[in-house]
């Protein structure tokens, strides 16, 4: 049994290491993964945006941090908003792939749903397969800054370009599992998008406004809450 488990993990890690995250091309001018400078821009961009916040983050500051010029960053990204969209697109494409792995060969719809909710609500750990991306800090950006990507006037144009396609595919995948469990449930997409956005709010509250949420010792209260919410909501 131990040998099989270790072999399974070995195979999974090899698969992950061969994966190329596909980011929507509308978010960049030049693919940042195509050069060492581009990868450094992404890596330090995540660090800086996580530390400074979207409002205080600038390409001038980023250029200084990587020992390059502001102009060199503009060769890869049109604006810091496009960089934020790049980060979000990367995160959801990566999450979509991890979801596919988590659900593979799991026959029970109930078990697949639990795994999916865990993936959406648990705190992210670095997986080590993408050295230029700190996934933990990237998740913090998604939690704290992603609403700025679509709560703005041009969201319809951005949506038409397919920037949110990975996010929507994740919702669709898990909504289908809910309908497999309860075909009469009327609001599967609404429920899953509420889980995702609600998790972001609760993680933010836990860090900055703890009296607006609950934290119990010995458990991840946010994951437990949403697991229970989904389970109770879709009961026939």
What are the pLDDT digits (tens) for 96-119?
Answer: 999 999 999 999 999 999 999 999
Q: Are 142 and 88 in contact (CB under 8 A)?
A: yes
* 6 pLDDT more than 80: no
As a whole number of angstroms, the distance between CA 145 and CA 204 comes to 10
Cα–Cα distance, 129 to 151 (Å, whole number): 32
What CA–CA distance (Å, rounded) separates 99 from 14? 17
* CB neighbour list of residue 65: distance below 8 Å, 6 or more residues apart: 44, 47, 48
Q: Which residues contact 100 (CB under 8 A, 6 or more apart)?
A: none
Residues ≥6 apart with Cβ < 8 Å to 208: none
pLDDT of residue 11: 47
**Would you state the pLDDT for residue 44?**
98
What pLDDT score does 127 carry? 74
Query: Architecture of domain 85-233 in CATH?
Result: Orthogonal Bundle (1.10)
Average pLDDT over residues 145-174: 93
The mean per-residue pLDDT over the stretch 200-227 comes to 95
For residues 204-222, give the mean pLDDT.
94
| Extents of the domains making up the chain | 85-233
CB 149 within 8 A of CB 85: yes
For residues 32 and 76, the answer to whether their CB atoms sit within 8 Å is yes
pLDDT for residue 150: 86
Q: pLDDT of 170-199, one tens digit each?
A: 999 999 999 999 999 999 999 999 999 999
- The reported pTM is 0.89
Average pLDDT of 143-157?
91
Mean per-residue pLDDT over the chain, rounded: 92
- Helix (H) and strand (E) counts for the chain? 12, 0
Residue 206 buriedness (CB in 10 A; 0-12 / 13-18 / 19+): middle
Say what the pLDDT of residue 74 is: 98
């Amino acid at each position: 049994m131990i040998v099989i488990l270790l072999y399974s993990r070995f195979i999974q890690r090899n698969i992950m290491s061969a994966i190329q995250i596909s980011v929507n091309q509308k978010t960049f001018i030049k693919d940042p993964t195509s050069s060492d400078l581009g990868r450094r821009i992404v890596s330090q961009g995540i660090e800086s945006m996580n530390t400074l916040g979207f409002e205080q983050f600038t390409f001038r500051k980023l250029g200084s941090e990587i020992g390059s010029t502001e102009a060199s960053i503009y060769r890869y990204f049109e604006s810091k908003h496009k960089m934020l969209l790049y980060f979000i697109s990367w995160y959801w494409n990566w999450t979509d792939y991890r979801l596919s792995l988590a659900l593979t060969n799991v026959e029970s719809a109930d078990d697949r749903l639990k795994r999916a909710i865990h993936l959406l609500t648990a705190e992210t750990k670095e997986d080590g397969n993408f050295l230029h991306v700190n996934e933990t800090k990237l998740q913090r950006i998604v939690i704290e800054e992603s609403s700025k990507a679509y709560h703005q006037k041009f969201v319809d144009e951005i949506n038409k370009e397919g920037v949110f396609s990975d996010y929507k595919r994740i919702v669709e995948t898990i909504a289908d599992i809910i309908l497999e469990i309860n075909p009469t449930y009327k609001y599967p997409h609404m429920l899953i998008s509420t889980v995702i956005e609600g998790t972001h709010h609760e993680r933010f509250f836990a860090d900055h406004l703890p009296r607006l949420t609950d934290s119990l010792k010995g458990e991840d209260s946010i994951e437990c809450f949403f697991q229970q919410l989904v389970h109770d909501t879709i009961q026939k």
